[in-house]
């Protein structure tokens, strides 16, 4: 392992800001992660564990040590109930892993195609898209305690998953590192699959249905679903190689029925999605931001994406501060107009 000084983080996070880490080291295996943790007590400075860097905004240079986790490896075992348990090292690229499963006909992750980032980051914010959240497919998560270097495997229930939320953003925040994730996928090729009575694919999200229809596909195979999701994402979301971004910058707000009813009196077109648990309702933040007139806004190199206003964009040389200022202005205008406080999904440093 190499400890480097004054390392540019521009290519190591998807917003692409020109910021520096005071120290930088890459852990390429699980045992390298554990070795670094054994030196933990000697490192008297802030530590940031970085995966694919697809959910961070740097507003300044990082004055501590950045540890990039890039351990790789995938292993799978078939179960006798139509499933396959796939164990994946945290540093695997998320979308390459999804492709790996789709190639083998293992279903469960195809709706989560083309999401940037690493496998180890997926459980932290319970990534979700096109009607599927990763919590539905996670069997367990292997973590190591940052202070004691002790390993522990968390069951799905112990991860306390919620909408873009988990134990890793709450009680375990800053306390553990995710080393490995085990997924439970369906394997429709196994003879025992018929016994599960489970549908192989999740096709209820309207955008996905429209895309498959526009591809003239009535009975999609797993590769068709991945292709449809990739087409929607490529059309709606900016390519991080062309314009820096971190996907959805805000969470979709979840409100109570009473608040919805009073908002609907003034905004009858307000879209909403019920059944978020405990009688709550999800409102698309993209709609709220759009209604406040931000869609396609640009000030210098900081902007709001013209096709998906939930995504803030660095068109070249925007600073993290400029993006954060823009985020605050958006939050203020949504609060003024709708009385709803948006919550950031991205981690700001």
The one among 46, 73, 199, 271 contacting ligand EPU by CB under 6 A: 271
268: Cβ contacts below 8 Å, ≥ 6 apart: none
| Alpha carbon distance 215, 220 (integer Å) | 10
87 vs 280, beta carbon nearer ligand EPU: 280
Give least dist CB 340 to ligand EPU, A.
14
87 vs 259, beta carbon nearer ligand EPU: 259
- For residues 224, 227, 228, 229, the Cα torsion angle rounded to the nearest 10 degrees is 130
> CA 4 → CA 21, 60, 192, 228, distances in Å?
9, 19, 51, 42
| Alpha carbon distance 338, 236 (integer Å) | 25
Which phi and psi (to 5°) does residue 124 adopt? Answer: -60, -50
Coarse DSSP helix, strand, coil percentages of the chain, rounded to the nearest 5 percent: 30, 30, 40
Give least dist CB 190 to ligand EPU, A.
29
| Alpha carbon distance 79, 84 (integer Å) | 6
Which phi and psi (to 5°) does residue 346 adopt? Answer: -85, 145
Number of residues engaging ligand EPU in binding (CB under 6 A)? 18
DSSP assignment letter at 334: H
Give least dist CB 218 to ligand EPU, A.
22
Give least dist CB 237 to ligand EPU, A.
6
Applying CB under 6 A, does 287 fall inside the site for ligand EPU? Answer: yes
Binding map of ligand EPU across residues 95-134, x = CB under 6 A, - = no contact: ----------------------------------xx----
26 vs 133, beta carbon nearer ligand EPU: 133
The one among 113, 308, 319, 322 contacting ligand EPU by CB under 6 A: 308
3-state secondary structure of 99: helix
290: Cβ contacts below 8 Å, ≥ 6 apart: 309
Which phi and psi (to 5°) does residue 136 adopt? Answer: -70, -15
Q: Per CB under 6 A, which region of 60-68, 75-83, 96-104, 304-312 contacts ligand EPU?
A: 304-312
Give least dist CB 196 to ligand EPU, A.
25
Spatial contact of 254 and 282, defined as CB atoms under 8 Å apart = yes
| Alpha carbon distance 105, 226 (integer Å) | 11
Contact set for ligand EPU, span 193-212 (CB under 6 A): 207
95 vs 345, beta carbon nearer ligand EPU: 345
85 vs 344, beta carbon nearer ligand EPU: 344
187 vs 240, beta carbon nearer ligand EPU: 240
Position with the least CB separation from ligand EPU: 247
Give least dist CB 56 to ligand EPU, A.
12
Contact set for ligand EPU, span 210-269 (CB under 6 A): 236, 247-248, 251-252
Beta pairing class for 4-8 and 254-256: unpaired
The one among 310, 327, 330, 342 contacting ligand EPU by CB under 6 A: 310
54 vs 70, beta carbon nearer ligand EPU: 54
Please give the positions annotated as active site.
Answer: 164, 248, 345
Give least dist CB 245 to ligand EPU, A.
9
In the numeric block, the tokens 């998906």 are attached to 308
Handedness of CA 13, 18, 19, 25 (dihedral sign): positive
Which stretches of the chain bind ligand EPU, using CB under 6 A?
Answer: 129-130, 207, 236, 247-248, 251-252, 271, 284, 286-287, 290, 295, 308-310, 345
């Amino acid at each position: 392992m190499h400890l480097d000084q004054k390392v540019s983080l521009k290519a190591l996070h998807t917003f692409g800001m020109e910021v520096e880490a005071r120290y930088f080291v890459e852990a390429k295996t699980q045992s390298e992660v554990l070795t670094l943790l054994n030196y933990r007590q000697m490192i008297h400075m802030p530590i940031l564990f970085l995966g694919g860097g697809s959910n961070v905004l740097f507003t300044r240079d990082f004055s501590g040590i950045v540890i990039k986790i890039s351990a790789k490896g995938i292993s799978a075992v078939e179960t006798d109930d139509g499933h396959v348990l796939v164990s994946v090292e945290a540093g695997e690229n998320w979308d390459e892993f999804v492709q790996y499963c789709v190639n083998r006909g293992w279903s469960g992750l195809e709706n989560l195609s083309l999401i940037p980032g690493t496998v180890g980051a997926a459980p932290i914010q319970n990534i979700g898209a096109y009607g599927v959240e990763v919590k539905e497919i996670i069997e367990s998560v292997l973590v190591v305690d940052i202070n004691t270097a002790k390993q522990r495997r968390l069951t799905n229930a112990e991860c306390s998953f919620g909408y873009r939320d988990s134990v890793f953003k709450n009680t375990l925040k800053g306390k553990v590192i995710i080393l490995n994730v085990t997924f439970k996928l369906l394997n429709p090729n196994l003879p025992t699959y018929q016994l599960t009575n489970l549908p192989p694919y999740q096709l209820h999200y309207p955008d996905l249905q429209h895309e498959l229809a526009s591809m003239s596909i009535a009975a999609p195979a797993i590769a068709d679903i991945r292709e449809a999701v990739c087409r929607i994402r490529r059309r709606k979301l900016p390519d991080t190689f062309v314009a820096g971004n971190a996907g959805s910058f805000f969470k979709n707000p979840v409100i109570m029925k009473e608040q919805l009813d009073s908002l609907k009196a003034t905004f009858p077109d307000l879209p909403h999605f019920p059944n978020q648990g405990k009688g709550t309702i999800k409102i698309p933040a993209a709609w709220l931001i759009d209604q406040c007139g931000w869609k396609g806004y640009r000030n210098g190199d900081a902007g709001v994406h013209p096709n998906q206003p939930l995504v803030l964009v660095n068109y070249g040389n925007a600073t993290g501060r400029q993006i954060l200022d823009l985020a605050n202005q958006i939050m203020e205008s949504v609060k003024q107009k709708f009385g709803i406080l948006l919550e950031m999904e991205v981690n700001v440093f």
